[in-house]
A and B are shown apart, each in its own frame.
Chain A
């Protein structure tokens, strides 16, 4: 029953929205007209914003009620001064955004076409019920009633039995509406998308904005990496080599005078060289893990699992992928495992590796404490940003009490 009446509610709401739309659209037109007098400069931005909020609501409802997702098309706005010139500038920017004009077109077209689709969706089930109730309605209003129902005359002067004919017709219409009303709503969604989805310029502009952002992140990241490597080398291997050089110099002097002391220094120099090698090894492992270079992602993640100290089960085998993708995925999984060990205390971890339709999907599930979030300082935001450089995404599902499921996707 609920399923039948949901389209009724949604349909009426959409009709209502279209009616509000007429008012807002008119207000924008008035504001635009007042541009001629100058005051419009202060009115247009607010009016356009109202129009946008309404259009955004329609996009959201289209996704929620009609199953048609519509992305937001607006270019990001910068801040403008409140002065006349500032607002004039803002007006100019808003009016040169193609999305504004598409909104306006929608504003005048939706109250015609959208309203028809939405009201049909809403009214159809109710019309079916009216048919079923027709004998009652006829009896209650026998004198004044003058109407047709689905092509059946039921008004004054026609036999009362006609009203009974409406009952099967009503049932048929009601049954039909269960199927038809959701379709009409879906059609309404498609119609909304036709006008309210971003134009190709907007898609490009948004893409450029995203690329600029992720590129800046990538540059920052690699600069930070280089600084870290420089610091590690400087404080580590480099310093140890200097110490070794000094020891060797001292040994040269001591060789004749005090061979015993020279021997002690030699042993120390060997320990220092071993330490320098260890540090270089750790450093290289952090830059490009040897197993990743040797075997690719699947085995590198298996090696990671062995080193993690957790009980990890790795499923799936991947072919060799582009080295940057492998590296990005590897370090993401590495951080996820570290996170799990540090915050979740899991008994088991499952890692699932898949490559489908040019999309690398890695799922990391643990049966630990759960309750992980992007904001908890868990580094998930950082992983997400590094993946974004490759148009990758990170999805997190971690109810308190666990389990935690993190899925990352990278196109390759």
Chain B
């Protein structure tokens, strides 16, 4: 069955672009709206497999889209939402992750340019996973005192941690770093030991644990 998507984006050009892109990659567009109130309505009505939402939308051009997404997730826990924005803010990332149920993404709009990576991120969020922008993760990893325990990690482990925090699976990480699956597994175990985190076989749960750790 096709995965159903609701798109919330006020720029017509980008909205159409997203529609075509996702249709071309085997998604079914349930609705494509251009403002906050209709987005919330569409999310609750269609209960899509995944929503792709711009933060800033009419009527007030503030964080309408994000608010609609958060509200929809309050009413339908775990409703998968991928938030796109011109900026990434740790505060917003935190709010999206706060309920701990996963199925959230938060990416810079430019990431759409890299079609395959973007579609992969939409798929991941639809599957209950996480897709955090590398920029969010970079800032999380670089928070001075709060992240001092990370100094115990080797540079390679830090790379793996960053990719893991973005929400990538072991397979994706090994591909990106051009190492074997086994090597990645060894790094993750070592990271979890060093940071005193519970090791879990479930990919999504593992990502959430890492993000919760980094969010302090």
Contact = CB atoms under 8 A, between A and B. Distances in A.
Interface size class of B (residues with CB under 8 A): 20 to 34
B63 A294 contact: yes
Interface string B60-87: 0011001000000000000000000011
A327 to B, nearest CB: 15
B87 A281 contact: yes
Contacts of A311: 145-146
A3 to B, nearest CB: 49
B94 interface: yes
Contacts of B142: 309
Contacts of B90: 303, 306-307
Secondary structure type dominating chain B contacts: helix
B87 A290 contact: yes
B128 to A, nearest CB: 26
B62 A309 contact: no
B89 A303 contact: yes
A330 to B, nearest CB: 13
A277 B110 contact: yes
B186 to A, nearest CB: 30
A291 interface: yes
B110 A290 contact: no
Given A299-B91, A307-B139, A281 B86 contact: yes
A344 B183 CA distance: 42
Contacts of A64: none
A190 interface: no
A273 to B, nearest CB: 8
B56 interface: yes
Contacts of B146: 309-311
B144 interface: yes
B95 to A, nearest CB: 10
Contacts of B91: 291, 299, 302-303, 306
B143 interface: yes
B132 to A, nearest CB: 14
Given A274-B110, A306-B90, A293 B62 contact: yes
A9 interface: no
A311 B144 CA distance: 9
Interface string B90-132: 1110100000000000000010010000000000000000000
Contacts of B63: 294-295
A302 B94 CA distance: 11
B145 A290 contact: no
B69 to A, nearest CB: 14
A308 B87 CA distance: 17
A281 B113 CA distance: 17
Contacts, number: 46
Contacts of B55: 294
Nearest to B94: A306
Nearest to A348: B145
B86 to A, nearest CB: 7
A285 interface: yes
Interface in A303-342: 303, 306-311, 341
Contacts of A281: 86-87
A26 B160 CA distance: 88
A295 B90 CA distance: 14
Nearest to A304: B91
A284 B85 CA distance: 14
A321 B21 CA distance: 41
Kindly name the residue among B86, B91, B142, B143 whose own CB sees the greatest number of chain A CB atoms within 10 A: B91
Nearest to A299: B91
A290 B139 contact: no
Contacts of B89: 290-291, 303
B144 A309 contact: yes
Interface in A264-313: 270, 274, 277, 281, 284-285, 290-291, 293-295, 299, 302-303, 306-311
Contacts of A293: 62
A310 to B, nearest CB: 6
B113 A270 contact: yes
A110 B143 CA distance: 64
A386 B203 CA distance: 50
Contacts of B94: 306
Contacts of B66: 294
A310 B147 CA distance: 10
B143 A290 contact: no
Given A285-B87, A303-B89, A303-B90, A294 B62 contact: yes
Contacts of A302: 91
A167 to B, nearest CB: 71
A294 B143 contact: no
A290 B63 CA distance: 9
11 contacts: A281-B86, A284-B87, A285-B87, A294-B55, A295-B63, A299-B91, A306-B90, A306-B91, A309-B146, A310-B146, A311-B145
Given A290-B86, A309-B146, 11 more contacts: A277-B110, A285-B87, A290-B87, A293-B62, A294-B55, A294-B56, A294-B63, A294-B66, A306-B91, A309-B145, A310-B146
User: Which are the 10 A-B pairs with shortest beta-carbon distances?
Assistant: A309-B144, A294-B63, A303-B91, A294-B62, A306-B90, A309-B143, A290-B87, A291-B89, A303-B89, A277-B110
Interface of A: 270, 274, 277, 281, 284-285, 290-291, 293-295, 299, 302-303, 306-311, 341, 347
